Amino acid sequence: NAGVTQTPKFQVLKTGQSMTLQCAQDMNHNSMYWYRQDPGMGLRLIYYSASEGTTDKGEVPNGYNVSRLNKREFSLRLESAAPSQTSVYFCASSEVGQLGEQYFGPGTRLTVT
Partner 1 sequence: RKEVEQDPGPFNVPEGATVAFNCTYSNSASQSFFWYRQDCRKEPKLLMSVYSSGNEDGRFTAQLNRASQYISLLIRDSKLSDSATYLCVVTPTGNQFYFGTGTSLTVIP
Residues at the contact surface with partner 1, assessed by CB under 8 A? 40-43, 50, 90, 97, 99-107
The CB-side HSE value for 45 (13 A sphere, CA atoms) comes to: 14
Q: Shortest gap between Cβ of 83 and partner 1 (angstroms)?
A: 21
Q: Shortest gap between Cβ of 16 and partner 1 (angstroms)?
A: 28
Task: Name which of 82 and 99 has its Cβ closer to partner 1.
Answer: 99
Backbone angles phi, psi at 92, to 5 degrees: -145, 165
Instruction: Name the β-bridge partners of 7.
Output: 22
Task: Name which of 17 and 43 has its Cβ closer to partner 1.
Answer: 43
Query: Residue 111 and residue 113: Cα distance in Å, rounded?
Result: 6
